[in-house]
Structure 1
């Protein structure tokens, strides 16, 4: 029974880390795909997504190796990192679910203002829109953006603003992101609990006199 319990926990931790590894590869693959197809041209955005995917990949490798070798030090740091990630991801997921439209507009304005012209042009061409928001407070910036815009809809003079296009889907997207974030945050707390129990078990095949 002791061997079965040890093996079951070990396999559960390994399976969880394989999932994290796949998510890490997926994030890096999506970033490279977005860059190659010109969907996002900002090196900062691409680099950020790749960094997150690479970090998740490293964490999953640490957990996988620690579980296979029953390495006490690696498992301890892995558990601590999972708990930290849980707190960060849980807070961010709750913030996504609670974000109002006015706050979304303010965030869009701030993000739009930090974008390079090439990134804005690429985004407008991909979304087939021009400018951010056609409101009184954004009028001057909107006119400048329209002059630089080369989206296909500009010739038809029936362009929507990029702010309207993004905000139309923002509520649903934030709910999806918040829900997925909450789900994965609870898998992290589950992983930390499994590791805590696994660390306290003695490997039945190990030398009885070995230090654990």
Structure 2
């Protein structure tokens, strides 16, 4: 049967959802591995990565079952949710690719403010830095952060700011994150297109007089 027929659409949609399931399991596994080896100590980061992995896994399971059974309702909800995920991921990816240095500093400030003391301490120890940015506007806060800093460099009094170190690699990280997100967003719109096409195709093994 030519590609674009019922069987081809079914196999393509099943294959795409199997890939999504593997990515979801990979996210869950990496988060658990990072927590187990102490690479990431923040329960919020671990929980967020696991939540994304579980969500992707559930969506992939719904899509896979819908594709195998040609289930109209499951395929409908699958393509609607996947399209919403595509819109969100496409917007975030484009924002990452277009973010300049000033916007990166604002994002780091906002993220640093939401971190708990334990997460900040773990980050300072891992990067061997103290505080975020040593600016005039936040001088008092920076002094307080340095006093509570547990990084090894504190004893040498030659500590860099964590914000400065992160900004050195943030542009490259945002480019990679935006590029990967943009790539996966196009696979999601491919999944939506396949689901729409597959829903409107007639199962050749079904009763010819039955409704879709």
Q: Does the TM-score normalized on the shorter chain lie above 0.5?
A: yes
1:73-111 deviation per Cα after TM superposition (whole angstroms, max 9, x unaligned)? 100111111111111111111111111111111111111
Shift of 1:21: 0.9
After superposition, the CA RMSD in angstroms is 1.6
Shift of 1:138: 2.2
TM-score (norm 1): 0.94
Aligned length: 212
Q: Which runs of 5 or more residues in structure 2 are unaligned?
A: none
Moved more, 146-155 or 66-75: 146-155
Moved more, 201-210 or 171-180: 201-210
The residue correspondences of 1:77-92 to structure 2 (distance < 5 A) are 77-92=77-92
1:163 equivalenced with 2:163 (yes/no): yes
1:121-170 deviation per Cα after TM superposition (whole angstroms, max 9, x unaligned)? 01111111111112212221211111111112222222211101111111
- The runs of at least 4 aligned residues of structure 1 exceeding 4 Å deviation read none
Structure 2 residue aligned with 1:211 = 211
Change in CA separation of 1:206 and 1:164 when aligned onto 2, cut-off 3 Å: same
The whole-number CA distance in structure 1 between the counterparts of 2:36 and 2:136 is 37
Shift of 1:33: 2.1
Change in CA separation of 1:3 and 1:111 when aligned onto 2, cut-off 3 Å: closer
The whole-number CA distance in structure 2 between the counterparts of 1:26 and 1:132 is 32
The whole-number CA distance in structure 2 between the counterparts of 1:65 and 1:53 is 18
Structure 1 residue aligned with 2:184 = 184
Structure 2 residue aligned with 1:65 = 65
TM-score (norm 2): 0.94
Change in CA separation of 1:34 and 1:138 when aligned onto 2, cut-off 3 Å: farther
Structure 1 residue aligned with 2:153 = 153
SS in 2 for 1:85: helix
SS in 2 for 1:136: coil
Q: Which runs of 5 or more residues in structure 1 are unaligned?
A: none
Structure 2 residue aligned with 1:110 = 110
Structure number with higher helix proportion: 1
